[in-house]
């Protein structure tokens, strides 16, 4: 996995350089305690604002579907370069669908993906994670969490995924945890699908 992820990050860095020239990469320090929570939120806010405003109108005009990705999809994408989750990640990078992101969801991604267990399993570094999240923020659609629905799910860490989907009017939540998400999402007419179904849907749109 290490080589494939490095390639992914090199592509992300090249993409950013081609768009805006050399720049200093935003990253979250190893010790998050060194920054106040408000400062961390501000960093992610900048990440989202940087790309979202120019993408929203384009997504609407192209009639793109909108998806919120559960954290388990990103975890799987980092750990395997052959599965549907990696294809979903690549599709998001290619703006083949509207990727819904909120500050709370980005913080959840960061927290899980930089955990020691995940880094060991994926062969990634904190810098790798930061580079990928930077690019996702540049192509994603920023969602303000105006509607709060919690608690509706068994896992409190899943709440921000559901709230991002609802506030962003997602067509679906992509997750491996369909059982827990489906009853709550159905109340807001939001589908719940596995990553493989996202890829199948994107393939059908191009036919």
- Dihedral of CA 56/58/63/69: which sign? negative
Say if CB 134 and CB 25 are below 8 A apart.
yes
Topology at the third CATH level for domain 2-16+35-206: Rossmann fold (3.40.50)
Q: What is the pTM of this model?
A: 0.72
Torsion of CA 99, 112, 48, 91, to 10 degrees: -30
pLDDT in tens, 85-132: 999 999 999 999 999 999 999 999 999 999 999 999 999 999 999 999
> Domain limits of the chain?
2-16+35-206
> Which pLDDT tens digit goes with each residue over 130-178?
999 999 999 999 998 876 766 766 667 788 899 999 999 999 999 999 9
């Amino acid at each position: 996995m290490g080589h494939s992820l490095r390639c992914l990050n090199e592509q992300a860095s090249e993409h950013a350089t081609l768009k805006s020239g050399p720049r200093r990469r935003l990253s979250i320090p190893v010790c998050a305690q060194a920054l106040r929570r408000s400062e961390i939120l501000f960093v992610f806010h900048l990440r989202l604002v940087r790309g979202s405003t120019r993408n929203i109108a384009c997504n609407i005009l192209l009639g793109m579907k909108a998806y919120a990705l559960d954290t388990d999809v990103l975890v799987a994408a980092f750990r395997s370069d052959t599965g549907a989750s990696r294809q979903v990640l690549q599709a998001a990078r290619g703006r083949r669908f509207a990727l819904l992101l909120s500050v709370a969801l980005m913080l959840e991604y960061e927290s899980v993906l930089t955990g020691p267990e995940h880094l060991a399993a994926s062969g990634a570094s904190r810098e790798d994670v930061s580079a990928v999240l930077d690019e996702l923020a540049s192509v994603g659609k920023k969602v303000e969490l105006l509607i709060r629905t919690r608690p509706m799910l068994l896992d409190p860490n899943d709440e921000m995924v559901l709230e991002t989907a609802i506030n962003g009017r997602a067509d679906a939540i992509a997750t491996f945890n369909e059982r827990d998400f489906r009853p709550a999402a159905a109340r807001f007419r939001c589908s719940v699908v596995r990553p493989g179904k996202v890829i199948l849907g994107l393939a059908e749109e191009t036919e």
